[in-house]
A and B are shown apart, each in its own frame.
Chain A
Amino acid sequence: MEKNRIVHTSLTRRVADVISLKMKLLTIFIFAGSMALSASSYSQKTRIDLQLENSTLTEILNSIEKKSEFIFIYNANVVNADLKRSISVRVEQIDKILELLFQGTDITYRIDDRQVFLSKKNDLKNPEQVNESILSDQVRNRKISGTVKDSKGLPMPGTTVMVKETTIGTITDADGYFTLNIPSDAKILAVSFVGMISQELTIGSQTTFNIVMAEIPVDVGEVVVVGYGTQKKLTVTGAVSALKGSELLKSPVANLTSALVGRVSGVIGVQQNGQPGKDETTLRIRGIGTLTSSVATPLVLVDGIERSFSQIDPNEIESFSVLKDASSTAVYGIRGANGVIIVTTKKGTEGKAVVSYTGNTSLQSPTRLPKYLDAYNFSLIYNEALRNDNPLTTQTFTDAELQKFKDQSDPLFYPNTNWLKLLIKEYAPQTQHNLNIRGGTKNVKYFVSLGYLNQTGLIKEFQQSSGISNNNNFSRYNFRSNVDINVTPTTTVNFQLGGYSSVRHSSQITETDAGANTTLMSQILVSAPNATIGMYDGKIITLDRSGNKNAIANLAAGFVDYTDNSLNINLGINQKLDMITKGLSLRGKIAFDNFYDLRRVFNRSTPTYTPLKVYPNGVETVVFRQNGELGDFVSGPSTGFARSRQLYMDWALEYNNSFGRHNVGALVLYNQKKRWYHSYAYPGIPLGYQDWVGRVTYNYALRYLLEFNLGRNGSENFPVNSRFGWFPAISAGWVVTSEPAVEKLIGKNKLSYLKLRASYGQVGNDIMGSTRFMYYPSEYLQGGSGIFGEDPVKYSSYTEGKLGNPDVTWERSKKLDIAVETRFFKDRLSLLFDYFSEDRNNILTTRKTVPSYVAVTLSDAYNIGHVKNKGYEIEAGWESNIKDFNYNFHANYSFARNKILYMDEALNDQYPNLNRTGHRVGETFGYIFEGFYNTPDEVTAAPSYFGGRPTLGDNKYKDITGDGVINEYDQQALKNPAFPEITYGISAACSFKGVDLSILFQGNANVSVPVQDYFYRPFYMLGTALEMVQNRWRLDSPDNNAHATFPKPSVTYARSQNFYNSTINIYDGSYFRFKNLELGYTFNKQQLKRLRLESIRLSLSGQNLYTWDKLKILDPESIANANNQYPQCKVYNVGIKVQF
């Protein structure tokens, strides 16, 4: 202990000296602000209580150090350790205490802020020489000297230079220079400075030393990508979550968005669809801070340019950064309010070329398919439902017919078709290959990657004989080439080329037209089990019977191919300008993107056959009536294409420098972007953005962190004279564990890291759907039509478009973020707590309270919404090892809850239950289900029911308004919003020698799924009925109705009130999922000597392996009313990775 504090020095004073030498205006400014408070006043302000009986001087000094921030600096032989003293002072200043303490000794002292130098009387002339003189009585016959500099070549004043295992040492001066007389037997020179890696040098015969100190990599190797740059994780003061690309590779999913969920805090995701090529996960950062969920999409940047990342090969990804608070997103200003996701692709590394091949083969299987009734029960309940609708109705299916459905004695006419079994495969393959080469020399570094993905759909083939596939298929080729070249010692050029080409094939005829019932799942949903046998003898069979839809008939009728081509090019240059001033550099970037999508629809008429029983000569014979002819495929009129290109350009001046422990950074950046769309409003005018960005960072010894970010952005959506807005954010951090006193007090072994940070700022949003030029007045659009003429002609015509809002401006989101980051026990345990709140006003939305008679097109944007969003994130981790067994656990939990403070809604005093204001965004409004009307008495006593009388078996809804009438006014917000408020992930991983294992569990909570239409109403659109109908309310078995969980079925929806949104059909959408498992074995170089390979890794992995949920009808992430729902899939995967 004693040795450790043998020589310290006054850092502040020394730094002040440095600054006087190399002063920079900016530094002074910041320095003055942060240091003025602490300078020299400490000793006067601080009062200490001290009561010690008969203690050694060392004990007393220790005690003072514990009670204050004072540090005593002295040579051990100055202070007589045996000297014992008693001292009793109350609320006394340090100099008074010391005076008392050293009364009658030969010790004198000098106070410099928190440092107290002790020496023998007469020695204290100049602190720099203190130690020299202290040591003068020792035998020293050699003199050494040297300078200490940091890695940037800047002198390091105040560095301790000691002869190891002695008390001989000194401190460097303002120029980092030291001289030291050392004993002849001195062997090792120890050099140390807070925040730097301590060094030990062999002295030998050397007399001059040029010592370069390296900073302690506080978070080993952790550099985080932030907006327009990178920062050390330690110095980041904004809320930024980072994820390494390698983490994503654990998930064998085709769409990159699906791999993020559960691994990063603050990112809430829902994968609503599983269709190959369309299985993107909807991501929201810190929930929803605006009035509608669909517009709360984060800004996504790939290598600094706004691009989609969902179709990038995961092998190309270096890292993800999720920027969550105002501090980190202010540089994106007008686009930053919904958070930002930055994807960075891999770059070359210095070293020999490493060739990696990765191959994966997977099987996909639906996580859950709905369970449908068989033909017998379907027909039975159909009869019953018709009777429910209309007691007078004749029995559609006679008892004899029902028997045939049951015993399957006549399957052609009385089929029992399980469409899911008939049409859907249990497993569908998926393969993925990637080959990449990474390497480089000092001057040229490269990363080149080629990827291929093929994902097959789950539909069985029915059309192979005609040479086409009715199954879904998605194949994608990815490529990327990132090259960095040092053109001159100060100039770096990087060239990034990336893109993909994909073909999505699907049996859907018109994918976009959800109402046309042509998607696969909707075909199954509208094909009743008793409708037809499907195919018989190669013929597609339709029967003249209830809902006689045959899913195969539509699957055979056509297909659609989407061909997407996307090309991204970045060209960047970085020029150091150290000549002008050290640490200055200029960089610039030009990016060009091109996207082309071709959609081709192929349709043909396909004959179906209707079996008929005829009786020639009284003998029953089956004949088939052909309906329609087989036509040729025609590429339908809906052949279409979309294309866009964008040109981006930026330049930036960046400055990074350190002055002793003052680290200063600054950035000024300008960028502009144009995007040309083929199909968009105002197609002739490219979409443009223009931004100026400023950032200043300062930190003192990586301990006190301060950052200021500023965006000035313009958006075409706003009036010409008020297009540009300022978006400032300030943030600060304090790395408590870098305080020597704290370190001393607790010790790095217990609390290895503690950072407090906070940020506050304002960001914006300028987007509302695809509306452009929101201010632009009185627009007339081509559209609408009048049909005139005796031979009718449809005239295209002008209709009034938006009126424009001359006062429109951006959404203003004020965000606060406060976080504590900690690590304990030599970084084994880590904990993070991050609280945030967002207050967004001026939300762009349409007016909703304008009376209908005003009748203007209300797509106009007005800044009238106000939403608050608050929440927190917790991350916890444990990383450790038992010898070679490394293991870790991580957990993250994110919660975000919003509240509508204002939307354009006339608050209804009479029916406050109808108000959405005050509720969360996306809550479903409906009725409170209170059981069924089970007895005639209940019906008689019932209130007026939607204008009529309830009947037996109707849903009993709560009379919320209490007016004795059940009607539309009795609705209220039900349960949770449709987008989850909580998401969490728990992961664990371990490795031992070559084996590694990782698992991920993920869950969403506080979410409701309204189960509607196809997935709730039996016979909806004359389609199928779900098994849950079995437990229905039945008129003919009143005893069981007490346990009924489903309303009485209806065919015509005569009793459609029973299918209104109510608490009976709004399900809890929470789930907990065994999301990912990966088991791998890596053969090391030694094992592979013969093969001359670097490594081989074999892995088994799985995705969505098991789910605990409450929905039970569909996968809990589904939208339970969409007829184009394609099942989410489990994936079982075998992978290999070879490096050579």
Chain B
Amino acid sequence: MKTKNYILGIVIAVILLSPISCKNFLEMPAQTGFNKDLVFSNYRDTEIYLYSLYQSVPKIMYGWANNIMLFGPSRVSLTDEAISGSYSGFTTNSLYAGAVTSSWFTTKNGEDVYNTHWKSIRNNFIMIENIDKVPDASAEVKGRIKGECQILIAVEYFEMWKRYGGVPIIKGSMTPADYEIIKRQPLDAVYKYIIELCDAVIANPNIPVKVTNPLEFGRATKALAYGLKARTMLYAASPLFNAATPYIDFGQNNNLICFTNYDKNRWKLAMDAALQAIQFCESNGYSIVTSYGINKNYAIACQKRPKDGNTEIIWGTMYNSSLEGANGGPEYMWGMRGRQGGAGANTPTQNAVEMYHNADGSSVNWDVKITTPPNQPEFPYKNLEPRFQQSIGYNGCLWYTNPNFYPQFYNGGEAGVANGLEGMKATPVVGNYSMRKYFMDYEKSKSGMWPMNPIMRLAEMYFIYAEASNEFQGPTAQAFDLLDVIRTRSGMPKVDRSLNQAALRAFIVNELFVEFYAEDHRYYDMRRWKIPGVKTIYNVNVLKYLNNTYTYEKYVSQTRVWNDFWFMHPFPLAEITKNYGLIQNPGW
């Protein structure tokens, strides 16, 4: 009996001891972990990695779901182009009130996310450093990808340069263990680096001049390198940077935020670069959209795909709301309030409306109260130019057909007249307009809306040439001709040839606003011109009366704060407090 017990015990011991023989009990991912070497071990995986490099292309419309960048509104609402509703999540309101800090500007919920530029640059360098290892890719493919990475790096540097001035320049990937301390480089050095990258791509025989495969729409091309070079040179020539002293004296660090000299030749460089870009593009299949009639050319150029006739787009991406997640679609943040379910994060201002002229060149006088004839709510707007009709929705406009839908942006003006369904009480909208651009033809169904995010189109090169040549040598016939192409395709008269340099400058400022309304140009155009932000924002009060007439009365709806040190961005506080010697921009 007793022996039996012990035998049992020993049997148990053997059973229990047996697992100890497993020497490598703690497993490790061995080769199942997907690492850098594996990414670049074949072209298929390399290509998948390439897709990630396009994640941080500049966006005009942000989705709410991304939960970054102004929490809904776009940069458009930081300018006089639009205004955000009183929804407290819209961080644009902080800027209007001047209550912004470095943390606001450059981190989540601000205008920029500083870190993402560097992340993108690093990812592109990793591709450049490793692409040659890929065994099953041709030299041409490798050359093309390297070129794309160089453009994307240049784009990131441009985006930082225009905001922060001189930033550290890195030329490869680093690790936390072996990084070196790099201080801010002079504005000029960063500028040269961007141009150097653009030139490298222009000289690259493997990069396509234009995306021909519709599946690849969104990939960088040689045309983009030309365009980016011209855009960079325009910024370099503009007053903010092209100056002996910066907007705020920064002592020995002046070279971080300006060139420390004024050089008129920078305008020449910009002018030449723009011309080169135009010539290159137009000899390679790009052209200004002119063949769809004055009521459509503009919308096609701004929001349609190449296969819908857009020959003008140099770089753009399609925006698919369903790919951006719930509430993420631009129609929600840009769209009309009330019936259309929009949150009105970007509502056009009266200031924007007043930038437009009637098709005959005349203007609406908004300084007096306008009373419409009965049943003509659209009266004040009806003669405004086609680009207006394709950009801004207003009271009584035909928003969509079948069934016809006319937004009602009015309040009851006397007892017995109910507010319109999009009346002022329907917050969070603060203006009596609605963003129309990007949503032409899409209004009926919210799902599957694919507006385009037009990052660069050929028309911009026309404007760069016109502006730079006007600054360099005054008005020229070529500048007028180029501007005329843009205007006439939207039914506007040709530019008055009698304009002098100053008048043409003013004309271009206005025309840029109109042509590139809500295309993310205004915010940085104002800065490069060193023009303070617009402080007074107007709205129009629309009242309806029993006799079905309407009155339109302009009023000041908001006074915004502007500080001169806002001409350039601050670095995030968290970056400064890392104490590695990053110099904060003045005023912050």
Q: How far is the CB of A1123 from chain B (nearest CB, A)?
A: 12
Interface-side segment among B227-235, B246-254, B551-559: B551-559
A1054, B12: Cβ atoms closer than 8 Å: no
Q: How far is the CA of A402 from the CA of B97 in the complex (A)?
A: 28
Selected from A490, A794, A1057, the residue in CB contact (under 8 A) with B323 is: A794
Selected from B305, B425, B557, B561, the residue in CB contact (under 8 A) with A546 is: B425
Q: Is A776 an interface residue (CB 8 A)?
A: yes
Q: How far is the CA of A544 from the CA of B428 in the complex (A)?
A: 10
Residues of B within 8 A of A1019 (CB): 88
Q: Is A575 an interface residue (CB 8 A)?
A: yes
Q: Is B216 an interface residue (CB 8 A)?
A: yes
Q: Is A325 an interface residue (CB 8 A)?
A: no
A779, B579: Cβ atoms closer than 8 Å: no
Q: Is A612 an interface residue (CB 8 A)?
A: yes
Residues of B within 8 A of A1053 (CB): 88, 91, 93-94, 99
Residues of A within 8 A of B27 (CB): 685-686, 688, 716
B9, A575: Cβ atoms closer than 8 Å: yes
In the complex, how many residues of chain B place their beta carbon closer than 8 angstroms to a beta carbon of chain A?
118
* Minimum CB distance partner of B40 in chain A: A780
Q: How far is the CA of A649 from the CA of B18 in the complex (A)?
A: 11
* Minimum CB distance partner of B97 in chain A: A1054
Interface-side segment among A29-37, A85-93, A96-104, A390-398: A390-398
Q: How far is the CB of B124 from chain A (nearest CB, A)?
A: 11
In the complex, how many residues of chain A place their beta carbon closer than 8 angstroms to a beta carbon of chain B?
114
Q: How far is the CB of A617 from chain B (nearest CB, A)?
A: 12
Residues of A within 8 A of B91 (CB): 1053
Q: How far is the CB of B442 from chain A (nearest CB, A)?
A: 14
B28, A716: Cβ atoms closer than 8 Å: yes
Q: How far is the CA of A777 from the CA of B425 in the complex (A)?
A: 57
* Minimum CB distance partner of A670 in chain B: B20
A682, B32: Cβ atoms closer than 8 Å: yes
Q: Is A441 an interface residue (CB 8 A)?
A: no
Q: Is A114 an interface residue (CB 8 A)?
A: no
B94, A588: Cβ atoms closer than 8 Å: no
Q: Which of B455-511 contact A (CB under 8 A)?
A: none
Selected from A799, A907, A1022, the residue in CB contact (under 8 A) with B123 is: A799
* Minimum CB distance partner of B420 in chain A: A544
A1056, B94: Cβ atoms closer than 8 Å: yes
Q: How far is the CA of A573 from the CA of B16 in the complex (A)?
A: 10
B214, A789: Cβ atoms closer than 8 Å: yes
Q: How far is the CA of A490 from the CA of B8 in the complex (A)?
A: 10
Q: Is A221 an interface residue (CB 8 A)?
A: no
B55, A784: Cβ atoms closer than 8 Å: yes
A685, B32: Cβ atoms closer than 8 Å: yes
Q: How far is the CA of A852 from the CA of B573 in the complex (A)?
A: 12
Q: Is B374 an interface residue (CB 8 A)?
A: no
Q: Is B54 an interface residue (CB 8 A)?
A: yes
Task: Given the known inter-chain contacts A649-B19, A790-B307, A797-B49, please indicate yes or no for A914 contacting B67, CB distance below 8 A.
Answer: no
A579, B16: Cβ atoms closer than 8 Å: no
Selected from A798, A862, A946, A1052, the residue in CB contact (under 8 A) with B52 is: A798
Q: Which of B1-41 contact A (CB under 8 A)?
A: 1-2, 4-6, 8-9, 12-13, 15-17, 19-20, 22, 25-29, 32-39
Q: How far is the CA of A799 from the CA of B51 in the complex (A)?
A: 9
Contact flags (1/0) for B206-243 with A, using CB distance below 8 Å? 00000000111111000000000000000000000000
Residues of A within 8 A of B52 (CB): 783-786, 797-799
Selected from A686, A792, A803, the residue in CB contact (under 8 A) with B318 is: A792
Task: Given the known inter-chain contacts A716-B28, A798-B52, A852-B114, please indicate yes or no for A906 contacting B8, CB distance below 8 A.
Answer: no
Q: Is B298 an interface residue (CB 8 A)?
A: no
A851, B168: Cβ atoms closer than 8 Å: yes
Q: Is B370 an interface residue (CB 8 A)?
A: no
Interface-side segment among A450-458, A831-839, A853-861, A1067-1075: A853-861
Q: Is A389 an interface residue (CB 8 A)?
A: yes
B578, A848: Cβ atoms closer than 8 Å: yes
Q: How far is the CA of A612 from the CA of B423 in the complex (A)?
A: 13
A795, B48: Cβ atoms closer than 8 Å: yes
Residues of B within 8 A of A967 (CB): 101, 588
Q: Which of B417-431 contact A (CB under 8 A)?
A: 418-419, 421, 423-428
A856, B13: Cβ atoms closer than 8 Å: no
Task: Given the known inter-chain contacts A784-B55, A1019-B88, A1022-B428, please indicate yes or no for A855 contacting B101, CB distance below 8 A.
Answer: no
Interface residues of A (CB under 8 A from B): 386, 389-394, 396, 487-491, 515-516, 544-548, 573, 575-577, 579, 586, 588, 612-615, 618, 649-651, 670, 672, 682, 684-686, 688-690, 714-716, 720, 723, 773, 776-781, 783-800, 803, 847-856, 858, 860, 862, 905-908, 911, 914, 946-949, 967-969, 1017, 1019-1022, 1050-1057
Interface residues of B (CB under 8 A from A): 1-2, 4-6, 8-9, 12-13, 15-17, 19-20, 22, 25-29, 32-39, 45, 48-55, 67, 86-91, 93-94, 96-103, 114-115, 118-119, 121-123, 126, 167-168, 170, 174-176, 179, 181-182, 214-219, 305-307, 317-320, 323, 326-327, 338, 416, 418-419, 421, 423-428, 450, 541, 555-559, 561, 563, 565-566, 573, 575, 577-580, 582, 587-588
Apart from A796-B51, A1020-B88, A1057-B99: 14 A-B pairs, beta carbons within 8 A:
A488-B5, A651-B13, A776-B29, A779-B33, A780-B36, A784-B52, A792-B450, A798-B49, A800-B36, A850-B176, A851-B182, A853-B168, A968-B573, A1052-B88
Q: List 20 A-B contacts (CB under 8 A).
A: A488-B4, A488-B5, A545-B425, A575-B8, A575-B12, A650-B16, A777-B35, A788-B219, A794-B323, A797-B48, A798-B49, A800-B36, A847-B176, A849-B578, A856-B175, A948-B99, A949-B98, A969-B573, A1051-B86, A1052-B96
